[in-house]
Structure 1
Amino acid sequence: MKEFFLRKGVNLSVKTYAVTSLSYMALGLFSSLIIGLIIRTIGEQFTLSFLEEMGQLAMDLMGPAIGASVAYGLKAPPLVLFSAVITGAAGAELGGPAGAFLAALISVELGKLVSKETRLDIIVTPFVTIAAGYTTAYFLGPVIQSGMVGFGDAVMWATERQPFIMGIIVAVLMGLALTAPISSAAIAIMIELEGIAAGAAAVGCSAQMVGFAVSSYRENGVSGLAALGIGTSMLQVPNVVKKPVILLPPTIAGAVFAPFSTMIFLMENNAAGAGMGTSGLVGQVMTFSVMGFHADVLLAMLLTHIAGPAIISLLLSEWMRKKQWITFGDMTIDQG
């Protein structure tokens, strides 16, 4: 059985399902829901119905995009990949983003097992893939969706009542998830994080990206500043594995400014922006979308998302360099 699974490209591991699949799901989300929301927001601000309709269409096709992205990430053969478009749509319809992910994941793995095993492959493979995905969506989708949304509601409820402690916890955990090889964006969207909890998450994620960008400027220069600051702090994962202490400056910066976000400025965000940080400036665009395009929002966002975390991270990292806890080269990234 193990040899059969290996031959079919089915790898039953936590890394495959909690890291690889979730990371590719995030790409599907960005290619549909997130970019669609940005396009629609631009259309609404400039009263351009063409862009509003374009953005809405992209958002509506989130499910198929998740299905295709998960299938691609799992190296599905063509018939399985194309069928996963349907299972992703079914999952989204019956269980939201989490349902789309689960339906796509299960259907793709089962589809891979039967792919090219019969002479009727062109019928058997898509049938098994679609049937497995729809069955998963039908029976498990609503349960998964309810559980994820319930957890998100609990986080938001707790953050509203304990904004200091919970703001720090949300910012730190979501920030670490963003830098880790999993997807903070997918997590935020699956639990439908909103309000000040989403605002704290955006601070924590932004702090990771901005913090690593400025802390590693010595090693990576301007190109690294851009790659980490508006690209992704995941580029530091190999360095974190070798020397986890480099996580301290950006993580502490996020913890410091989370209470500013939740208690002073009452920063809010939505699920699409909560886990994105400064990646493509999505977190900032979504802040404006939720709170309005106002000067006070801009100033608060610049302080909590960019300037504040940058200053704290730089000061801490320089102090740690003097203590020899961080040495030159510890944060060098591969920009090739």
Structure 2
Amino acid sequence: MSKESFRDIIKNKAKLYFIDALGAMAFGLFATLLVGTILNTIGKSFNITFLTDVLWPLAQKATGPAIAVAISTSMSAPVLVVYAATVVGIAGNELGGPMGVYIATIFAVEFGKLVSRKTKIDIIVTPAVTVLIGVFIANFVGPYISAFMNFLGAIIINATDKAPFFMGIIVSVIVGIVLTLPISSAALCMMLSLSSLAGGAATIGCCCQMVGFAVISYRDNKMEGLVAQGLGTSMLQMPNIVRKPIIIIPPIISSAILGPISTMVFKLENTPLGSGMGTSGLVGQISTFTAMPNVPFIKLLGIVLLMHIILPAVLTFAIYEIFYRKGLIQDGDMKLYFK
């Protein structure tokens, strides 16, 4: 095997594991825990016991299997492997949380693929191997993974509480960049259990990227681009960022400015699920209300509108205008080509 072909294999596997699988993991989270959180919040607000006592616990239990199915599907696993992955998802989530599901499912799928359709009793061998490998990995490394991710998340949260200015900048900028890169910021924040002030700063960074790009690319993309990025994802700009990296600087500067304002002035918080979502489906905003139930609704609504939408839009556009007038960013640099 040539060095070039080996390099291609490594590159493809890296994309599969760290981009495709992580992105799919986020979808699994959205379809269960995210929807369940929103409906549970509605249930608590309007005293709908069906949403709080019936649907919410089921959504929580379904999270592991949903993540496993999403990941195995993204890895083009055979159907028997996908179905068997549900067991791996349950084990991974109980023993190691979302990160435990992620790692256990990847191992289970790869081994399941190796034996799939290789025997005459495939219907037994393939799911058996998938379940055995996945549950073994979940049982072996899950508790350590969970402990490490919680430890790392706790360090970030505690550091933000003790040094809100500097950590507000760091968390906001890093999570915002991750959101725009082909990596799931939502999955990252869930793995780290990022909440409290750190979760609030993370949300600011995501909002600066999403709302910021939506506004500064309006000349190129009009209303379709505004909605797609503002309520969808700024990840759509990745091809343009690769071609011209300077276009990501205005949202990053906005994140660095607004992050510490969030942590020090308004003391915004968020949940692990909402902290990496930004304005995608307004989940970051809904989760902020969930994380800060003691703040009067109208007051918090004003702060959220200001910090999550108005200031990211105004500040990012002002910085962009400086770049634009100096010729550093030009018309067409952020053009999206919708299919």
The AA in structure 2 aligned to 1:28 is G
Matched, 1:330 2:297: no
**Distance in 2 between residues matched to 1:126 and 1:223, nearest whole Å:** 44
**Distance in 2 between residues matched to 1:223 and 1:56, nearest whole Å:** 37
Q: Which residue of 1 aligns with 2:306?
A: 303
How far has the Cα of 1:283 moved from its partner? 0.2
Query: Would the aligned equivalents of 1:43 and 1:49 in 2 still touch at CA under 8 Å?
Result: yes
Q: How does 1:119-130 map to 2 (within 5 A)?
A: 119-130=120-131
Q: 1:214-248: CA deviations, max 9, x gaps?
A: 00000111111110000111111111111111101
Matched, 1:246 2:247: yes
**Distance in 1 between residues matched to 2:35 and 2:321, nearest whole Å:** 37
Q: Which residue of 1 aligns with 2:50?
A: 50
How far has the Cα of 1:56 moved from its partner? 3.0
Matched, 1:116 2:103: no
Query: Would the aligned equivalents of 1:215 and 1:313 in 2 still touch at CA under 8 Å?
Result: yes
CA pair 296-311 structure 1, distance change in 2 beyond 3 A: same
Q: 1:76-99: CA deviations, max 9, x gaps?
A: 010001111110111001111111
Query: Would the aligned equivalents of 1:67 and 1:84 in 2 still touch at CA under 8 Å?
Result: yes
How much identity, in percent, do the aligned residues show? 47
How far has the Cα of 1:12 moved from its partner? 6.3
**Distance in 1 between residues matched to 2:304 and 2:121, nearest whole Å:** 57
**Distance in 2 between residues matched to 1:158 and 1:321, nearest whole Å:** 36
Query: Would the aligned equivalents of 1:10 and 1:112 in 2 still touch at CA under 8 Å?
Result: no
**Distance in 1 between residues matched to 2:59 and 2:273, nearest whole Å:** 13
**Distance in 2 between residues matched to 1:19 and 1:72, nearest whole Å:** 14
Query: Would the aligned equivalents of 1:171 and 1:255 in 2 still touch at CA under 8 Å?
Result: yes
Q: Which residue of 1 aligns with 2:40?
A: 40
Q: Which residue of 1 aligns with 2:21?
A: 21
Q: Which residue of 1 aligns with 2:139?
A: 138
Matched, 1:84 2:80: no
**Distance in 1 between residues matched to 2:120 and 2:323, nearest whole Å:** 64
**Distance in 1 between residues matched to 2:11 and 2:249, nearest whole Å:** 34
The unaligned stretches of length 5 or more in structure 1 are none
Q: Which residue of 1 aligns with 2:178?
A: 177
**Distance in 2 between residues matched to 1:184 and 1:81, nearest whole Å:** 25
Q: How does 1:178-257 map to 2 (within 5 A)?
A: 178-257=179-258
CA pair 212-299 structure 1, distance change in 2 beyond 3 A: same
Query: Would the aligned equivalents of 1:175 and 1:251 in 2 still touch at CA under 8 Å?
Result: yes
Q: 1:167-210: CA deviations, max 9, x gaps?
A: 11000000000000000000000110110000000000111000
The AA in structure 1 aligned to 2:276 is G
Q: Secondary structure, in 3 states, of the residue corresponding to 1:155?
A: helix
**Distance in 1 between residues matched to 2:174 and 2:141, nearest whole Å:** 27
- TM-score, normalised to structure 1, is 0.96
Q: Following TM superposition, where does structure 1 have runs of at least 4 consecutive aligned residues deviating by more than 6 angstroms?
A: 9-12
The unaligned stretches of length 5 or more in structure 2 are none
Q: Which residue of 2 aligns with 1:274?
A: 275
How far has the Cα of 1:256 moved from its partner? 0.8
Q: 1:289-334: CA deviations, max 9, x gaps?
A: 1112611211111121110110011111122111111111110112
- TM-score, normalised to structure 2, is 0.95
The AA in structure 1 aligned to 2:270 is N
Q: 1:257-312: CA deviations, max 9, x gaps?
A: 11111001110101000000000000000001111261121111112111011001
Query: Would the aligned equivalents of 1:175 and 1:254 in 2 still touch at CA under 8 Å?
Result: yes
**Distance in 1 between residues matched to 2:21 and 2:315, nearest whole Å:** 34
